[in-house]
Amino acid sequence: MKLNNDMQELMRKANSLLQSGPKGIATNLVQRVLQRALPGLVPPPERPVMKDINPPPPGRELPPAPEVITPAGVPAFVADLLDRFGVRPPAGTPPPPATERGQFLSGSLTNAAGTRAYKLYVPAAYTGQALPLVVMLHGCTQNPDDFAAGTEMNAQAEVTPCFVLYPAQSKSANGSQCWNWFNAVDQQREQGEPSIIADITRKVMADYRVLPKQVYVAGLSAGGAMAAIMGSTYPELYAAVGIHSGLPYAAATDLMSAMKAMRTGMNETRSAQSLPSGTRPIIVFHGDHDKTVHPRNGEQLIEQHVRRDDPSSTENGRVPNGHTYTRTLHRKRDGSPLAEQWLIHGAGHAWSGGSSKGTYTDARGPHATREMMRFFATQQG
């Protein structure tokens, strides 16, 4: 389809509104353009169509998610259509996180593997006493400010005093700002990106009074996959791991196998391989309508960490006016927590219970941030 000059101009106006005005007005403008060009074929604005960048293979299709999660607050169908018509939407930089009572500081670290920036949240309650540390690894296209805003982990750090560290992936290392969890070198102790994240963690522990047995790592999507790597390769550094919409340790060795793991789950032969000794307890969240990282990956994360004869129990629940979920608890022989799995029914690829101030969040799910902090409190290295 070729747009006439009037429609081209309307699309340019919509793009201008996306950059400087209310996104709802821009959305309505695009709707009018499309209704003129394609009457009867335009999706209603309240139910935009999600474009799945990693569709499942034939026979493994998932039912459609009931709601759309879009990055940076730009409706997915608007961004897609503007792109198709040669009008580029704004990059979608999310708003900065709400001002907290503590300090959100910037820093960077360089080692033999490279340089990465980071941000550190120091809660207002910190007066020199030792506190826990939570390391948060963002997903693709995200950054520390965005991830902090969406997860609201800084606000949680005021409720449960702790430091929150956000290492930042660089565009030079990955154009989409994904952690390179699928590269073999980035799955090894004291090599690649794991060495950088570990050294940033150690730097913060040296600069501030951190409880050394209460250091935790968590992440979303690619960050979740990297969190699994960190917990597996640095069990003496991290007491527990939180993984949201991520993948198992060593799920892939290159980009091709990474895409396959994202679509269908980790290769079963690799899944059967044992983890490095000393792997730490984990809490896993995954939406059963996730079309970006298949939910099978969440199951395989649990399978990597528990044995078939480990005691377990399951409970079902519902968030008021939100998603239902299934929570499975796995315990060690002595009754202490070993792993916890939250399968969120109807949820897609987004941080459960998160804020719309950040990207890739779903406010209708269980509050993953609070539940991770609760789980972490039961674990000390």
Instruction: Delimit the domains of the chain by residue range.
Output: 5-84, 103-377
Tokens 């480990």 belong to residue: 310
Mean pLDDT, residues 181-196: 97
> Could you give the CA distance from residue 42 to residue 80 in angstroms, rounded to a whole number?
13
Buried b (16+ CB within 10 A) or exposed e, 221-243: bbbbbbbbbbbbbbbebbbbbbb
Domain boundaries 103-377, corresponding CATH code: 3.40.50.1820
Residue 128 φ/ψ region, left for φ over 0, alpha for ψ in the -120 to 50 degree band, beta for the rest: left
What is the model's pLDDT at position 70? 37
Query: pTM for the full model?
Result: 0.75
Q: Could you tell me the two tokens for 91?
A: 């990059």
For the chain, the residue count is 381
| 246 Cβ neighbours under 8 A, 6+ residues apart | 219, 220, 221, 222, 223, 224, 225, 227, 228, 284, 293, 297, 298, 301
> Could you give the CA distance from residue 23 to residue 29 in angstroms, rounded to a whole number?
10
Tens digits of residue pLDDT in 281-323 = 999 999 999 999 999 999 999 999 998 778 899 999 999 999 9
Tens digits of residue pLDDT in 209-262 = 999 999 999 999 999 999 999 999 999 999 999 999 999 999 999 999 999 999
Most confident of 27-31, 58-62, 71-75, 275-279: 275-279
